[in-house]
């Protein structure tokens, strides 16, 4: 039995226990369909047969109705800012430097927003209802990933009023409902 029963500074009080687990993640059916289209430079939505809302990217169900979203809907390259934040933390391996904009964007033809980056913009003048368009990577760099769209940049179009955000059709926004 060791004699020293009083604790000393050398006593172990914590240990590092790193755990690394390897997984083979699968995208699922709906996300796979979506990513195959993104690979071709198209953003597709999926429509709920119950409430009619269009989701992009869809995970296969309408969260509101609990129904499968099987109908594919083509969406526009333009979108509307639903909300945004200015981020001061760099993104690893991304050339966009802080401060940059992360925004909730609703693509034309969809009803539910997704999150993406904004750039080529004056951060101080970004606002809800602002019209933006996708800036894609060169086609030869396209992969099964949302970052085929580098970011969205502002468009010179009239703002969408708050009550109309999420209701802009694929044909776009001309300043009136």
Partner 1 sequence: MSDLLRQQFVLGYTYTRSTGPVVGRFLTELRQRKIVGTRGDDGRVFVPPMEFDPVTASALDEFVEVSDRGEVVSWCWISEPRDSHPFDEPFAWALVLLDGADVPMVHAVAAPEAEMHTGMRVQARWSEEPRGYITDIACFEPEVTQGEG
Partner 2 sequence: MKDIAIVSFAQSDCRRDAGACNEVELIMPVIEQAMQAVGLNNSQDVDFTCSGSCDYQQGAAFAFVMGVDALGAVPPIKESHVEMDAAWALYESMLKISMGQAESALIYGFGKSSPGELPTVLSQQLDPYYLAPLWVDSVSLAALQARVLLDRGLLSEQDMAAVVARSRANAKANNPHAQLAGDVSVEELLAESPWVAPLRKHDCCPISDGASAMVICTIEKARAWGKPYAVIRGIDHRMESHNIGARDLTRSVSTELAAAQAGVDRGPVEVAELYAPFSHQEIILSQALGLDDSTEINPSGGVLAGNLMMASGLSRIGEVATRIMSGDVRRGVAHATSGPCLQHNLVAVLEAA
By CB under 8 A, which span of 14-22, 67-75, 108-116, 166-174 interacts with partner 1? 14-22
The 3-state secondary structure of 39-73 reads HCCCCEEEECCCCCCEECCCCCEECCCCEECCEEE
CB of 89 to partner 2, least distance (A): 19
Residue choice 30, 44, 106, 110 for contact with partner 2 (CB under 8 A)? 30
Residue choice 38, 43, 44, 48 for contact with Zn ion (CB under 5 A)? 48
Number of residues that bind partner 1 (CB under 8 A): 29
The dihedrals phi and psi of 124, each to the nearest 5 degrees, come to: -75, -15
CB of 156 within 8 A of CB of 175?
A: no
Helix (H/G/I), strand (E/B), else coil: 125: helix
63 binds Zn ion (CB under 5 A): no
By a kind-dependent CB cut-off of 5 to 8 A, residue 48 interacts, out of partner 1, Zn ion, partner 2, none, with: Zn ion
Structure tokens at 139: 């086609």
């Amino acid at each position: 039995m060791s004699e020293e029963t009083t604790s000393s500074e050398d006593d172990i009080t914590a240990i590092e226990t790193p755990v690394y687990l390897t997984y083979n993640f699968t995208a699922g059916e709906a996300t796979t369909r979506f990513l195959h289209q993104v690979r071709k430079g198209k953003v597709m939505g999926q429509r709920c047969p119950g409430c009619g809302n269009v989701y992009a990217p869809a995970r296969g169900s309408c969260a509101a109705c609990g129904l499968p979203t099987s109908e594919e809907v083509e969406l526009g390259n333009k979108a509307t800012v639903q909300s945004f934040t200015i981020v001061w933390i760099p993104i690893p391996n991304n050339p966009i430097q802080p401060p940059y904009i992360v925004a909730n964007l609703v693509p034309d033809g969809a009803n539910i927003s997704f999150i993406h980056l904004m750039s080529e913009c004056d951060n101080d003048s970004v606002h809800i209802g602002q019209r933006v368009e996708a800036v894609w990577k060169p086609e030869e760099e396209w992969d099964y990933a949302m970052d085929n769209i580098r970011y969205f940049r502002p468009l010179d179009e009239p703002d969408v009023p708050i009550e109309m955000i999420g209701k802009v059709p694929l044909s776009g926004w001309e300043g009136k409902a």
